[in-house]
Structure 1
Amino acid sequence: MGRLPHLILFLGIYLAVLALVDANVKSVFVFGDSQFDPGNNKYIKDCGVQANFTPYGSSFFHTPTGRFTNGRTVVDFIAQYMGIKFQKPFQEVHQRLQKRSRKGILIPANGINFASAGSGLLPTTNDYEKVTTIQVQLQQFQGLIKHNHLHKKQIAKSIYLVASGSNDIFSYYFLPQTTNLTKQEYVHAMLQETSNFVDKIYKLGARRIAIFPIGPMGCIPGRVLINKAPINRCSGIVNNMCKYYNVGLKRLISSIPRKYPGAIGVCGEVYNNVQKLRANPKLYGFSNVSEACCGGGPLNGMLQCGSPNYKLCKNPNEYFYWDFFHPSERTYRLFAKMLWAGGKKEIWPINLKTLAHITLPFS
């Protein structure tokens, strides 16, 4: 009998810890671009934006998966924190559903990833590369609902992660001939598409919506592709446009609970935290926050990783950037930790861990 109180205490602590680890939400639906793409583009015929070749994926999967980094993305780490498997690419699941060719087959209980590298908020962004626009990604999600591949309970009790807009802003400077809009008009068009996306996905049943602002695109190694962009410092012009969009996005996210009853909008502070890490590289274990680990030319930003004559660094973990556009797996891990359990300076009004556990009306 003397050991019984100790056993009860142990069980109490064990259950308390288990409750903290076991997320209430076990499903994630993902939309966006190459930051989140798990390999959708490799299934798209004639798509010109690819990472299905070495050395992509070399640090974790030990084979190319279509992810635009050397290992896992933020979405993958979030899935691990939630205790669920990585979300499969929509295109992979879609092919499987087509082979079975009948309605009512449910998709994986852990959710699905629709993100397509190269896509933007504007339908015309990189359309010549045959990427899947975020509007079409939403239609793909809607199609799964229409054909009874998704249960209503899963739709309501899932987290929706959205990261898009970087390619729009990069294209504005890299391919200026593709638009006649002023910077302000262009950003307002982006914000309108974001607003449309939130409105439609809410009507489809989404309630936990996490949207990530744009990071400082003027600092990526790939800025060297932009005419007259500086090499020895970030491009202030490009970064100012990113910040202008982010101000409008934060206003939109703040309005979600008021505009959409029962929903909550979460905003990850991407821009400021990228700059925080880049300003204090040694503190976060980086030896290089300017050049890409893999690529070629100035800053290793002129060539895509894996292209002929590319160069590869010895230790990707010491580099903030993996290739000309994308962070390394280690950088993604740091950001995932901030988004999952960070404070108000990292993500607001609540972090993703809280979002996964919180009980919302109608969910």
Structure 2
Amino acid sequence: MMERLPHLIIFLGVFLMALASVDAKVKSVFVFGDSQFDPGNNQYVKNCKLTANFKPYGSSFFHYPTGRFTNGRTVADFIAQYLGIKFQKPYQEVYRLLAKDSRMPFPSNGLNFASAGSGLLPNTNEKAGVTSIQVQLQQFQALLAKPPHLKNSTHQHIHRKQIHESLFFVISGGNDVFSYFLLPGASNMTMETYVHAMLKEMVRFTTKIYMYGARKIVLFSLGPIGCIPGRVLIRGTPTNRCLDKMDEMAGYFNAGLKRFVYSIPRRYPGAIGLYGAVYDTAQKYRDNPKEYGFANINDACCGNGPLNGVLQCGLLGYKMCRNPHEYFFWDYFHPSERTYMLIAKAFWAGDKHEISPINLKTLVHIYNKTLPIP
């Protein structure tokens, strides 16, 4: 071992010099998933029933509703700030701007396709008019080439180089799990079969974005969905403890997702996958609330009924807490901005219990611009 030590020191020295010499600035992020990352896409979709474009959403940071399902920024927003770039705009907003002005350059900081209420399974909340993750993928794919009505225009679509150098965030599955319990028997699947179907869609999605050029892929686990205040909408659910069966299902999905993430370098040459452990990270805050500044980890800050989990925040009859930053949950389904901030910090610079095999800060710094563009 001793004779190998000098060689190890030399290797580490060369590696650290390499880190210092590469461009550490990732300037673009593409975001897919559900309401945890939706920056306001649903408000542009005609007849979509799941929106948050009304007060008091956005009140703690933006001071007006943006369509985000929280009182301020999401994890994706905080990560954008850590990268030193602007928040990714909703795809639906940019799509409409491009339709009006074909000369408008494509956003250099990426784009957010996430749609509240969507799941990994295409029929999840389908009747609510949400945009499934499969359709989100189609929207992204359509931007890789000029559509027919813009064929002769000067409009710039996504360059392959930007895709190759971007971070890709995917968070989905929570709505699938909740629907499984809200509508028992509707899926006609066992829990195991249902979760396998979800994981199959995640693999399919990842394969596609890799084919389109994605190389830095971050997949986020499900959080403690059995603890959300909205669980009271499910018949017979306790208010004094989390719904264990739902958390068990989330844990089963998360274990499969982590195995898949760790297989990404083998499955997709040149790619790296990160596993964001939302469940474990969130539970750490819930287990030690005072240490992280939380006075309430059970009730929603905004809503009504038991746990403030029966009525959506902002609808007629809602009530709101005085100090949203002291609440783990903002509304019946979603964390507060403070919770998102803590999770984002953990994913940016945390340890392997929060994000693995490396954190986002490390991933950004090991980016090597000499990698061939596919």
Q: Decide: shared fold, TM above 0.5.
A: yes
Deviations 1:54-103 (A, max 9, x none): 0000000000000000000001000000000000000000001112357x
The residue type paired with residue 49 of structure 2 is G
SS of equivalent to 1:75: helix
Question: Which residue of the partner structure matches residue 342 of structure 1?
Answer: 350
Whether 1:362 and 2:362 are equivalent positions in the alignment is no
Q: Which residue of 1 aligns with 2:278?
A: 270
Q: CA deviation at 1:357?
A: 2.0
Write the mapping of 1:241-320 to structure 2, written as runs, cut at 5 A.
241-320=249-328
SS at match of 1:303: coil
In 1, distance between residues paired with 2:334 and 2:372? 37
Corresponding residue number in structure 2 for 1:35: 36
Q: Which residue of 1 aligns with 2:129?
A: 130
Change (3 A) 1:309 1:23: farther
Match in the other structure for 1:182? 190
What secondary structure, in the 3-state scheme, does the structure 2 residue paired with 1:69 have? coil
Deviates most, 33-42 or 344-353: 344-353
What does residue range 319-338 of structure 1 map to in structure 2 within 5 Å?
319-338=327-346
Q: Aligned residue for 2:81?
A: 80
Does the CA contact (< 8 Å) of 1:295 and 1:323 recur in 2? yes
CA–CA distance in structure 2, aligned partners of residues 136 and 273 of structure 1: 30
> Aligned with 2:143: secondary structure?
helix
Aligned to 2:120: 121
Q: Which amino acid aligns with 2:265?
A: P
In 1: Cα distance, 2:105 partner to 2:183 partner: 41
CA drift at 1:23:
4.1
Provide the C-alpha distance between the structure 2 equivalents of 1:338 and 1:53, rounded to a whole number of angstroms: 30
Work out whether residues 124 and 175 of structure 2, in 8 Å CA contact, stay in contact via their aligned partners in 1.
yes
Tell me if structure 2 keeps the 8 A contact 1:155–1:205. Answer: yes
In structure 2, what residue type is equivalent to 1:86? F
Where structure 2 has 5 or more consecutive residues not aligned to the other structure, the ranges are 1-16, 147-155
Please give the alpha-carbon distance, in whole angstroms, between the structure 2 residues aligned to 1:226 and 1:264.
38
1:75 alignment partner AA: A
Query: Which position in structure 2 is the counterpart of 1:64?
Result: 65
The alpha carbon displacement at 1:50 in A equals 0.4
Q: Is residue 2:163 matched to residue 1:155?
A: yes
1:62 aligned partner, one-letter code? H
SS in 1 for 2:168: strand
Mapped to 2, the partners of 1:276 and 1:212 lie a distance apart of: 16
In structure 2, C-alpha distance between the alignment counterparts of 1:326 and 1:140, rounded to whole Å = 25
1:236 to 233, 244, 248: 244
Q: What are the superposed Cα offsets for residues 88-136 of structure 1, whole Å, 9 maximum, x if unpaired?
A: 000000001112357xx54110000000000000000000011000001
Shift of 1:362: 2.7
- Residues in 2 aligned to 1:213 and 1:319: alpha-carbon distance in whole angstroms: 22
Unpaired stretches in structure 1, ≥5 consecutive residues: 1-15
Counterpart of 1:115 in structure 2: which amino acid?
A
Residue by residue, what CA displacement relative to the aligned partner does 1:255-294 show, whole Å, maximum 9, x if unpaired?
Answer: 0000100000000111111111001000000000000000
The answer to whether the 8 Å contact 1:257/1:263 transfers is yes
Q: Structure 1: how far apart are the matches of 2:99 and 2:27? A: 26
In structure 2, do the counterparts of structure 1 residues 34 and 77 end up closer, same or farther at CA, with 3 Å as the change threshold?
same
Q: Deviations over 1:186-213 (max 9, x none)?
A: 0000000000001000000000000001
Q: Distance in 2 between matches of 1:324 and 1:160?
A: 28
The one-letter amino acid of 2:39's match is P
For the aligned residue pairs, the C-alpha RMSD in angstroms reads 1.5
Indicate conservation of the 8 Å contact 2:58/2:66, yes or no.
Answer: yes
In the other structure, the counterpart of 2:48 is 47
| Aligned length in residues | 343
Structure-2 residue corresponding to 1:112: 111
Which of 172, 179, 183 matches 1:171?
Answer: 179
Cα distance in 2 for partners of 1:161, 1:256 equals: 14
User: Residues 150-194 of structure 1, C-alpha deviation per residue, up to 9 Å, x if partnerless?
Assistant: 011101000000000000000000122431111111000000000
Partner letter of residue 269 of structure 1? A
Identical-pair percentage: 64
CA distance in 2, matches of 1:117, 1:271: 19
Whole-Å Cα distance in 2 between the matches of residues 177 and 45 of structure 1? Answer: 30
In the alignment, residue 82 of structure 2 is paired with which amino acid? Y
2:95 aligns with 94
Q: Report the secondary structure of 1:256's partner residue.
A: helix
Q: Distance in 2 between matches of 1:227 and 1:352?
A: 40
Partners of 2:302 and 2:43 lie apart in 1 by: 20
Question: Which 4+ runs in 1 deviate beyond 4 A?
Answer: none
